[in-house]
Amino acid sequence: MSISVTKLAASARSGAVAPVARALRVVVQCGVLAGVWFVADFAVRRIGLPVPGGVIGLLALLAALLCGGIAPHWVKAGADWLLSELLLFFIPAAVAAVQYGGLLRENGWRLALVVVAGTLMVMVAVAFAVEQTSRFERRLALRRIPVDRQPAR
């Protein structure tokens, strides 16, 4: 059974191929992101760094994005999909926590305290990073404005 080029072109124009192409793009981009993690994890294990491979992978990806080695649109669809399905990655941790009911009864308050304190520290660190980045971007934008057009302070 053969599909004519005319029918294929017509289905492409009608948008029938678009969901398949998008799904394929997401799979390929997730593969690229997983590849970055895999290479970073391999390097961390090989060198013996006391840092998780995922952290090194994120730093490598950030460096590649900032220097132009990887264009953001090359990984955006995959990253968006991973972020939208992020909750699914926490299910194994929740199931594992249910298996240790005795530990939770004994030390639950300590674990809750660590989770709350860790969450607050992450929130403060992110707020600080966003504030500093915003100030840096504002300074860069002000440098681009000619001196005679700068707003009065």
Give the containing element (helix H, strand E) for 97.
Answer: helix 91-99
Task: Give tens-digit pLDDT for 81-119.
Answer: 888 888 777 777 777 777 777 877 888 888 889 989 999
What whole-number percentage of the chain has pLDDT above 70?
83
Helix (H, G, I), strand (E, B) or coil at 148: helix
**Mean pLDDT confidence for 113-132:** 93
- Token pair for 118: 């860790």
Q: Does the global pTM surpass 0.75?
A: no
**Residue 51 to residue 43: CA distance in whole angstroms:** 11
In the chain, the amino acid numbered 126 is V
Confidence tier at 133 by pLDDT (50, 70, 90): very high
Domain ranges within the chain, ordered by starting residue: 1-84, 89-153
- Token pair for 33: 């992101």
How many Cβ atoms sit within 10 Å of the Cβ of residue 29? 20
55, 12, 8, 15: which is closest to 36 by C-alpha? 55
Task: Give tens-digit pLDDT for 26-45.
Answer: 999 999 889 999 999 999 99
**Residue 46 to residue 40: CA distance in whole angstroms:** 10
Residues 6 or more apart whose CB falls under 8 angstroms from that of 56 comprise: 40, 41, 43, 44, 49
Helix axes 101-144, 91-99, angle to 10 degrees: 150
The answer on pLDDT for 7 being more than 80 is: no
Task: Give tens-digit pLDDT for 42-71.
Answer: 999 999 989 888 889 989 998 988 898 888
- Token pair for 18: 């678009």
